[in-house]
A and B are shown apart, each in its own frame.
Chain A
């Protein structure tokens, strides 16, 4: 993470960037972003909407005078969130996955937070003026529509899929592409499966709630036997409540640690894929130009050769930036996953311990009630 340039444009500390609040006005979500100024103890707070984030991302894509820009693995921006109405809940889940869950957009905000932190710690992107403005200007970027980057979603087109499998000239990159293909697919699948688990856990919590309520309704005081039976039902109702809360906690733990982590990993793999694809496209362009140059008629040859050289230079810049990016990415993702896995395990362990104790208490109390 050493920056080659002496001047950093970013005036706030990357680690201090937080999304502290989110408000909803109709369809529009507004995020409160706070950060700490680098050279003073002053804090900054700005308000941004998703459009602003999108503008920022586009600004990254369309930077000028950044050599090998296409070799950068751009931090992935989550998709736009649509405030939940019942008809679009399934749609939101499909689009956002884990980020759609959780109360009050917690996971979504966390994801946006990561995005900003990743950008702010990126050796090149942190120098982007747009980022500083985004984080510190009280005025939002407004409706500025900068040049639309050409980098988004290139991999969607069918034609592009053919290009994706184009053989590489460099072993390092060929390996990386293969690995990335596998990891992208695996992490996406794992994220989806974990999401299914969390959804089922939430359904179970609901079912426990219903059961607990039904038990509560069994209370009646008609005679001694009815009173005794009611006592048992009430106790069981309490126990099932505890089971319900446990499921809610387990689901929430899954969501806020491993879920978030896998989601991030999955989206980052996609971002790497896009970068590798851009490079591959450049490679194809280069090979095409080479072929044309070979076939070119002598009077055009010099022009073609000059052009070829330019493309070669671009390609090699992209490749060298890409290599650095890949190494950086590999190191950081392991750390990120590690901290998520530890967090997940520790939270689930704590929850399990609390729960075991609670159940034991219930068991003791119940046995004591009837020991006479």
Chain B
């Protein structure tokens, strides 16, 4: 049921405002429709995660009443949410709650349903959707050349029109997708997986047509990164249903993503970070009502440092393994030469066999280096970038909070202005002031709702992220162990084959 509901965060900014006023209207409407709901006990009001929501709605419905109290200047002066909402004296306030069940449910749909769905989704999505990025093909020549990748989506999920779809996409298409998702979801606190980095050096080599090992490696690295990016994106229950994602995976023609020059994954995050820095510099000290967020932020900062350190360790490991492969190959050559210089037949043959064994070991070292790299180094790199996205989301929350606070300040000003006008006897200006107050009250409510929403979303997203993190690492460790076991077993075969050769030397 809840799957069919569209989440309130809408597809573009223009609608957002509309949605605000729609919601506000709805609340007013529901507030006036069922006056009998006014007598429901307050237990309902404070139930679970919907508590704050209910209180929010109270504010809207009781606009008229509050204004009546405004002359007393009881609660409106204080900028904090709580005193305004939990205004004691008027019994009419509390029972309004059940009236707003309709809209509350709608707002809550996005909160609750994905949580329930998530567990189902988790066990399902690893089986029910498989995306592969393959067959990199160079299109065009010279500096205008680009690589096109085949994206194959295999799934029996209902969101897809066919069980298997194949499309061709270029790198800027991926960046375009990410920039769309980021602009839609970052500000409501969804952790949007970052797209792979642009690389001028890497791409230039490919464009220029250098068919050497480093450009082949670069293309492979990129292909793998694009695959992981798509898989991460569709694993997110909300993103999977996003029309842009579906269009990306299914439609054969995709409008060319422009201005991706500036908007790579890193570009978006830089923008987010810049905005976050600007917020911080505004010396807004957020009154963190929820210690969870502070703790989590600290944890993520620590994790970031740890992962970066791990990444550096793994890079060093990969580097040394490659060196070992090179040196083993050189040794193999020198052993072959020694075998050739040798007169004694059996010794000569044994030495040549030695050279062959060493060559095979060289190949093994290379393979293991790739395993090290693709399993660990890339995983750690992905997570370092993901954490940047997570921190971006925390910063968005602060921004949202700041916006809400600003709205409250404005509202206060408007109220003060109105109060002054009351005594100034300018009726037309007074009406305008009242209108502005209404407008800003709406904004305050929206600000608070947004803040609640983003906080909720972040909690859920972080929970999902941490589960995924453990799962991802577990999978990688298993794959790594399997590669180690395989390598050792190969090695045993090589040594067992060589032993009789060595013994045969008479």
Residues of A within 8 A of B (CB): 179, 182-183, 186-187, 189-190, 192-194, 196-197, 200-201, 203-204, 207-208, 210-211, 214-215, 217-218, 220, 222, 225-226, 228-229, 232-233, 235-236, 239, 243, 330, 334, 337-338, 341-342, 344-346, 348-349, 352-353, 355-356, 359-360, 362-363, 366-367, 370
**Neighbouring A residues of B289 by C-beta, 8 Å:** none
**CB < 8 Å: which of B310, B323, B489, B492 contacts A349?**
B492
Closest CB in chain B relative to A204 CB, distance in Å:
5
Interface flags for B401-435 (1: CB within 8 Å of A; 0: not) read: 00000000000000000000000000000000000
Since A342-B499, A352-B492 are in contact, a sample of 15 more A-B pairs with Cβ atoms closer than 8 Å, ordered by chain A residue number, is: A183-B342, A186-B341, A189-B334, A190-B338, A193-B330, A197-B331, A204-B324, A218-B306, A218-B310, A225-B463, A338-B505, A341-B505, A349-B495, A349-B499, A363-B481
**Please, how many angstroms separate the alpha-carbon atoms of A57 and B233 in the complex?**
75
Q: How far is the CA of A263 from the CA of B334 in the complex (A)?
A: 14
**Are B496 and A349 interface neighbours, CB within 8 A?**
yes
- With A226-B299, A359-B488 already in contact, the answer to whether A239 and B317 are too (CB < 8 A) is no
Q: Does B343 contact A (CB under 8 A)?
A: yes
A-B contact pairs, 6 of them (CB 8 A): A193-B331, A225-B469, A232-B477, A236-B477, A341-B350, A355-B488
Is A225 a contact partner of B470 (Cβ separation < 8 A)?
A: yes
**Does any Cβ of A come within 8 Å of B272's Cβ?**
no
Question: Is the beta-carbon distance between B327 and A197 smaller than 8 angstroms?
Answer: yes
User: Does B320 sit at the interface, judged by CB under 8 A?
Assistant: yes
Residues from chain B with Cβ under 8 Å of A235 in the complex: 477
Number of A-B contacts (CB under 8 A): 155
If A200-B324, A243-B484, A366-B477 touch, whether A346 touches B499 (CB-CB below 8 Å) is: yes
Bound: A341/B333 CA distance, A:
17
Q: Looking at the complex, which one of B302, B321, B473, B498 makes contact with A220 (CB distance below 8 Å)?
A: B302
Q: How far is the CA of A179 from the CA of B340 in the complex (A)?
A: 11
Q: Is the CB of A345 within 8 A of B331?
A: no
B317 with A194: CB separation less than 8 A: no
Inter-chain contact B502/A207, CB cutoff 8 Å? no
Chain B residues lying within 8 Å of A366, measured Cβ to Cβ, are: 477-478, 481
- Closest Cβ of chain B to A153, distance in Å, is 24
Q: Are A342 and B503 in contact (CB under 8 A)?
A: yes
* Given A190-B337, A194-B331, A211-B317: A359 touches B481 (CB 8 Å cut-off): yes
Q: Does B467 contact A (CB under 8 A)?
A: yes
Which single member of A186, A208, A220, A225 contacts B337 (CB below 8 Å)? A186
Instruction: Please tell me if the beta carbons of B330 and A353 are within 8 angstroms of each other in the complex.
Output: no
Number of chain B residues close to chain A: CB under 8 A: 57
> Which listed residue, A190, A196, A201, A239, touches B480 by the CB 8 Å rule?
A239
- Contact, CB under 8 Å: B477 / A345: no
| A316 CB to nearest chain B CB (Å) | 25
Contact of A356 with B499 at beta-carbon distance under 8 Å, contacts A200-B324, A211-B317, A341-B354 already known: no
A239-B481, A352-B492, A355-B488 known; A214 vs B505 contact (CB < 8 Å): no
Contacts known (A222-B295, A243-B484); A201 close to B313, Cβ less than 8 A = no
Contact A193 B327 (CB under 8 A): yes
Complex Cα distance, B296 from A225, in Å, reads 12
Q: List A contacts of B505 (CB < 8 A).
A: 334, 337-338, 341
Write the chain B residue with the least CB distance to A230: B470
Complex: how many Å from CA A237 to CA B358? 29
**By the criterion CB–CB under 8 Å, are B482 and A363 in contact?**
yes
For A236, give the chain B residue with the smallest CB separation: B477
Chain A residues lying within 8 Å of B129, measured Cβ to Cβ, are: none
8 nearest interchain CB pairs?
Answer: A225-B466, A356-B488, A349-B495, A211-B313, A193-B331, A182-B341, A341-B502, A338-B505
B477→A179 contact, CB < 8 A? no
Chain B residue contacts of A194, Cβ below 8 A: 331, 334
Residue from the list A190, A334, A359 in contact with B484, Cβ < 8 A: A359
Closest B residue to A176 by CB, please name it.
B343
B257 at interface by CB-CB < 8 Å = no
Nearest-CB distance from B248 to chain A (Å)?
Answer: 30
Q: B301-341: contact bitstring with A at CB < 8 Å (1 yes, 0 no)?
A: 01000100110011011001101100110110111011011
Q: Does B221 contact A (CB under 8 A)?
A: no
A214, B313: Cα distance in complex, Å? 8
With an 8 A cutoff between CB atoms, is B474 at the interface? Answer: yes
Query: Within the assembled complex, what's the spacing in Å between the Cα atoms of A214 and B334?
Result: 37
Contact check, B478 vs A208: say whether CB atoms are below 8 A apart: no
CB-CB < 8 A to A217: which residues of B?
A: 306, 309
What separation, in Å, do the CA atoms of A7 and B343 have in the docked complex?
36
In the complex, are the beta carbons of A203 and B323 less than 8 A apart?
yes
Least distance between A65 CB and chain B CB atoms (Å): 35
Complex Cα–Cα for A359 and B317 (A): 19
Of A204, A229, A356, A370, the contact of B489 (CB 8 Å cutoff): A356
CB distance from B384 to the nearest CB of A (A): 13
